[in-house]
Structure 1
Amino acid sequence: MNHDLHEESLTPVAHPAAPKPLTRREQRRRRRQRRRRGEEVLAWVLVPLICFGIYWGISAGFEVLGTSPGQVWDQLMQVKAMMQKRT
């Protein structure tokens, strides 16, 4: 069956020239871009985690002390009023 096909010999394919190696300046620029991108992603992840951690820590501290931010504020205002009466 193969003898019915009239195939020609394969022609060589021209390979594109190898890309020029990057200069040191270009390598440094790309490293900086990657680092900045990585720092940006890290910031978008860590900042909300840090904010949530601070909120959770303060809430847990109030819970351990058995109080609330409102009660602490009221007590501070009472202390302030007492200090003003002394003078």
Structure 2
Amino acid sequence: MSELHEGPLLPVEQPTLAAARPKPLTRREERRRRRTRRRRGEEILAWVLVPLICLGIYWGINAGFEFMGTSPGQVWDQLMQVKAMMEKRA
């Protein structure tokens, strides 16, 4: 058959606004998305806070040694002297 003798084209239905609107998420999917967002936020917070906490501890220990007028090397040497004295007594 020839294409010229086919019938007229039928109109195509346009999607309505209700059909274009996405379905609301189920409670399980909402919970999953909240959990994913929370975990992502916690990861970002951890990448920021852990280095700050480590630096704070380091600066605090250095400030404590500075306040006492000593250094970690001197404290280590004194601990080794105490250990040697305790071994001689035993």
Aligned residues: 75
CA distance in 2, matches of 1:53, 1:46: 10
- TM (norm. structure 1) is 0.81
**Which residue identity does 1:80 align to in structure 2?**
K
Cα shift readout 1:27-78 (whole Å, capped 9, x = no counterpart): 0000000000000000000000000000000000000000000000000000
Residue pairs, 1:1-87, within 5 angstroms:
16=17, 17-87=20-90
Gaps of 5+ in 2: 1-13
Cα shift readout 1:9-30 (whole Å, capped 9, x = no counterpart): xxxx966511110011110000
Report the aligned-residue RMSD.
1.5
- Runs (4+) of structure 1 exceeding 3 A deviation are 13-16
